[in-house]
Chains A and B, each alone.
Chain A
Amino acid sequence: EIVLTQSPATLSLSPGERATLSCRASQSVSSYLAWYQQKPGQAPRLLIYDASNRATGTPARFSGSGSGTDFTLTISSLEPEDFAVYYCQQRSNWPRLTFGGGTKVEIK
Chain B
Amino acid sequence: QVQLVQSGAEVENPGASVKVSCKASGYSFTSYYIHWVRQAPGQGLEWMGIINPGTGSTTYAQKFQGRITMTRDTSTSTVYMELSSLRSEDTAVCYCATGGDYYDYWGQGTLVTVSS
Q: Which residues of A contact B (CB under 8 A)?
A: 1, 32, 34, 36, 43-46, 49-50, 55, 87, 89, 91, 94-102
Contact = CB atoms under 8 A, between A and B. Distances in A.
A31 to B, nearest CB: 11
A103 to B, nearest CB: 10
Given A95-B35, A96-B59, A96-B61, A55 B47 contact: no
A96 B106 CA distance: 17
B80 interface: no
A43 B102 contact: no
A87 B45 contact: yes
A25 to B, nearest CB: 15
A71 B35 CA distance: 24
Contact of A91 (B62, B102, B104, B108): B102
A98 to B, nearest CB: 6
A100 B107 CA distance: 20
Interface of B, secondary structure class, is: loop
A1 to B, nearest CB: 8
B50 interface: yes
Given A43-B107, A97-B47, A99-B37, 17 more contacts: A1-B62, A43-B97, A43-B106, A44-B45, A44-B95, A44-B103, A46-B103, A50-B101, A87-B45, A89-B103, A91-B101, A91-B102, A95-B35, A95-B59, A96-B59, A97-B35, A99-B44
Contacts of B37: 99
A5 to B, nearest CB: 12
Contacts of A95: 33, 35, 50, 59
